[in-house]
Structure formats: C-alpha cells, structure tokens
C-alpha cells in the first residue's frame, strides 16, 4: 500500500511537442492517499489510460515526477514499483492452469511454495474461483478470465497499487454489476490503493471513494461522487455525470446578478467577479421542478424511464430537462419552471463562477 503523488506531470507522444495540443497530459498534480479507492473518469482520449500507464511504469512521462510514499519512482520499472494492472481484456497465460496463473507472479519473486499455495487459495476464495483451480485457463468464460487477471494483481500482498484499465469492457452486461460489486468487496477486504479507469460514470461512482474527472489531458475536478454530483466545478463534470446531465442556460451578467431571458435567476451564492467569457447558468434536472410561478416554458417531450420521468421543456431556443418522480406534465403543456436556488450556479467559460455563501464550509 502506498501513497501516490503525481507532480507536474506532462506527457506527449510526439518526439518534439510544440504546443499544448501535442500533449496527451497537461500539468497533472495529484495526491492519492494510501488504501483508497479512486476512479479516473473521462471520455475516450482524455488521457486517462496514458496517466495509468505512467503510474504503472509502462510509460515514461515527458516531464514530471511520480512518488510512491514520497520516494521518487519515475525511473523505476513496473516490477520495481510493485504494482498490478488489469487490462481491458483478460490477459492470462492460456497454457497454464488457473492455479499456476495466480501463482505466477509469486513464483517469479521466488516465494516459497507453501506460502504460494496458501496465498493462491486465499485469493481464489475471495474471487470465488477456487473450484476451478486445476482447470486450464484457456477454456474459461471472459468474466472468469478477467477475475483471474484481477487475482494475479491481488495475489501479491505487498503490492503498492492495483490499477484497472476499463476492466469490464468485454464482460456481458448482466455480469458487469456482479464483478463491480465484487471489486468493491475486494477493496474493502484487501485495502490496497486501487485506481479504476473508466468512461462509464456508473462504474466510477459506485466503486470510488474519490473520482478524478479528466478531459483533454487536464484534471477537471476531484471529489467524492456526491461532491461531483452536487457541485460540479466544471460544466464538463456537470454534463458528463448524471443522466441526463446538467442543464446549461446562456445568461448575462448585469450588476452582480444573472439574467436569463431578462429574468433574474437566484443563485447559490455571490458571483466571482472579474473575467470575461461565456456565461452559463447550470442546474441539474434533479433540481428543476414545476410550480405555479417561475420561468415560462412549453413541454416538448416526456419520457417515462421507469423510476422517474424526464421532461424536456423549451424556452425559446433553449432546452431544459427536468426530472420528476410523479405528476409529470403533458406534452405541449405550458409550465412554470423553478430552480432550487442552492443548486443553481453560473459557469464562466466552463468553470464555476459562483461562490458558496459564507456560512457553511
């Protein structure tokens, strides 16, 4: 188990990078405490796999340092860093049995056979593969193969960090949730530092204590799943997390207030002054409700998603989604929208531009 620090990390796949657009990772500074479960969330191409490979040592960063427990490991190989990585598709040694697969990393480190045996059985039990230990790895189903890949990562007790690179990609949907919960369970038992890379917000939010959201090589926000949902500090986070994502309404700033269609919008707190840029009001559909007074809108579409309704309303050119549990309005109906003030914010060029009121955190 180790504390991981990333310091001023930048990486480019080009030999002579010129501008910021040549960098896959730009200025990453991060601290991960020991034993936590972390997720790296972001769309394809945002740099999360690059970051993962830099942490594991499979890739040398163009600039910056990586520290495990305050020790600089930037020049160390994966073996020296003592990490484990689970890939998108199961990587197992086909010709070996399940037992030999799990034992492989231990035997390579010259561990005594008795200890190997006990350790392998321990992990196999945890993963519920102990009944297939003598089977050849090649004949198993993908989810079992992936379990064994994970097992190989966890079998070493002293592993510093276990990394998962979109490990559920090849798993059948109905088995995904099983493996997800198994992973969470494993983390609670093993208490190793785990980093989980994914583009799926459900996976990230259920697994992690803390989520790092990335976009285009930058870290956009770090926080607990609740924080990310309740108070996104970037429009990307607001839009990427939540289904549907946060509503964004173009607005004007006049005299310290925000105006949308000439109606003043009540915000969570005072506006951060200064800076020019595109201003938008952000409010999650969960916090939009219907009432007798409020912004006038017309209902365009109502979708019944089972547990709730998603109502799409239009004001002029702007589309606003709202989530209601019951009493959804009819299509074409004229409604009045209310925004919960504590969750209404302004974003300037994507970044949050309102502050929380003094009383509170």
Binding site for other proteins (CB under 8 A): 56, 58, 77-79, 83-85, 87-89, 91, 93-96, 104-105, 108-109, 149, 152
Q: Tell me how far, at minimum, the Cβ of 133 lies from other proteins, in Å.
A: 18
Q: For residues 85 and 279, which CB has a smaller minimum distance to other proteins in the complex?
A: 85
Minimum CB distance to other proteins, residue 79 (Å): 5
- Rounded least distance, CB 271 to other proteins, Å: 48
Q: Which is nearer to other proteins, 109 or 334 (CB)?
A: 109
CB 267 within 8 A of CB 280: no
Smallest gap, in angstroms, from Cβ of residue 87 to other proteins? Answer: 4
* Gap between the Cα atoms of 320 and 247, Å rounded: 6
How far is Cα 101 from Cα 339, in angstroms, rounded to an integer?
55
Judged by DSSP in three states, 38 sits in: strand
3-state secondary structure 51-79: HHHHHHCCCCCCEEEEEECCEECCCCCHH
CA 76 to each of CA 197, 305, 346: distance values in angstroms, whole numbers, following the listed order: 22, 50, 44
| Of residues 170 and 271, the one with the C-beta less far from other proteins | 170
Q: Please return the burial class of 115, using the count of CB atoms within 10 Å of its CB with bins 0-12, 13-18 and 19+.
A: exposed
Nearer to other proteins (CB atom), residue 6 or residue 84: 84
Contact 2, 34 (CB under 8 A): yes
Degrees to nearest 5, angle at CA 48 with 195 and 245? 95
Q: Which is nearer to other proteins, 160 or 201 (CB)?
A: 160
Q: How far is the CB of 53 from other proteins (least distance, A)?
A: 8
């Amino acid at each position: 188990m180790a504390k991981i620090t990333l310091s001023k990390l930048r990486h480019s796949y080009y030999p002579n990078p010129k501008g910021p657009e040549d960098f896959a990772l730009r200025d990453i500074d991060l601290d991960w405490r020991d034993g936590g479960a972390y997720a790296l969330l972001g769309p394809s191409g945002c740099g999360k796999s690059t970051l993962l490979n830099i942490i594991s040592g499979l890739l040398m960063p163009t600039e910056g340092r990586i520290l495990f427990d305050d020790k600089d490991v930037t020049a160390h190989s994966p073996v020296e860093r003592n990490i484990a990585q689970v890939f998108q598709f199961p990587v197992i040694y086909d010709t070996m049995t399940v037992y030999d697969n799990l034992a492989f990393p231990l035997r390579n480190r010259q561990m005594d056979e008795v200890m190997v045996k006990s350790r392998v059985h321990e992990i196999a039990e945890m993963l519920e593969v102990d009944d297939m230990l003598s089977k050849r790895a090649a004949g198993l189903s993908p989810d079992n193969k992936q379990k064994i890949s994970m097992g190989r990562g966890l079998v070493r007790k002293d592993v510093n960090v276990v990394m998962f690179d979109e490990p559920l990609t090849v798993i059948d949907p109905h088995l995904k949730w099983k493996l997800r919960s198994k992973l969470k369970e494993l983390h609670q038992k093993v208490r190793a530092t785990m980093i989980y890379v994914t583009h799926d917000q459900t996976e990230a939010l259920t697994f992690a204590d803390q989520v790092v959201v990335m976009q285009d090589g930058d870290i956009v926000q770090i926080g607990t799943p609740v924080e990310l949902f309740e108070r996104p500090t970037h429009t990307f986070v607001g839009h990427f997390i939540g289904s549907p994502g946060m509503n964004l309404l173009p607005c004007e700033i006049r005299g310290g207030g925000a105006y949308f269609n000439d109606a003043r919008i009540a915000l969570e707190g005072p506006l951060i002054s200064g800076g020019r840029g595109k201003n938008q009001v952000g409010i999650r559909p969960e916090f939009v409700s219907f009432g007798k007074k409020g912004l006038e809108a017309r209902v365009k579409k109502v979708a019944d998603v089972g547990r709730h309704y998603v109502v799409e309303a239009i004001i002029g050119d702007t589309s606003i989604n709202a989530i209601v549990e019951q009493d959804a309005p009819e299509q074409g109906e004229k409604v009045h929208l209310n925004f919960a003030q504590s969750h209404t914010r302004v974003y300037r060029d994507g970044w949050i531009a309102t502050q929380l009121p003094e009383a509170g955190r």
